[in-house]
Amino acid sequence: MKYDYHVFVCANQKAEGKKCCGEKFGLDAVKILREKIKNHESASRIRIQRAGCLDVCGNGPAMVVYPDGCFYGNLNEESLEKIAESHLLGNHPLSEFMLPEKD
Ligand code: FES
């Protein structure tokens, strides 16, 4: 596999009044995550990019980390930094910010 982790951060912007993660948050989140990992030895093995809707809009802002398939929601700067540190750099998914799996 080309990457150890491939992260898709929702930057979907819906019409005003509809719940969504939002383009601004998504782009800012990508920057925060990239900044957090950039000086780490495994940075080149982690790909972080913006994405369209991940279909968990009610729990946004959201992102998903593959190959684990972990969906994280209700994100803010603090949780993004913790997820980067623990999951992306430490290989320990953080259940406290994970969205429950659907059946
Ligand atoms: S708008 Fe982000 S998950 Fe749908």
Q: Which pTM does this prediction carry?
A: 0.95
- Buried b / exposed e along 65-87 (16+ C-beta atoms within 10 A): beeeebbbbebeeebbeebbeeb
CB of 53 within 6 A of ligand 1: the answer is yes
Q: What is the pLDDT of residues 49-87, one digit of tens each?
A: 999 999 999 999 999 999 999 999 999 999 999 999 999
Check residue 101 and give its pLDDT: 81
Choose which residue among 7, 18, 54, 99 to substitute to test ligand 1 binding: the one with the highest number of ligand atoms within 8 A of its C-beta. Answer: 54
Ligand 1 pocket test target in 8, 18, 53 with most atoms within 8 Å of CB: 53
| Percent with pLDDT over 70 in the chain | 98
Contact 48, 33 (CB under 8 A): yes
For the chain, which residues make up each domain, given as ranges? 5-97
Q: Report the share of the chain in percent with pLDDT over 90.
A: 94
Question: What average pLDDT does the chain have?
Answer: 95
Class of domain 5-97 as given by CATH: alpha beta
The confidence score (pLDDT) of residue 1 equals 84
Quick check: CB of 9 below 6 Å from ligand 1?
no
**What was the pLDDT predicted at 103?**
54
Cα(56) to ligand 1 centroid in Å equals 6
The DSSP string of 24-77 is: HHHHHHHHHHHHHHTTSTTGGGEEEEEES--S-GGG-S-EEEETTTEEE-S--H
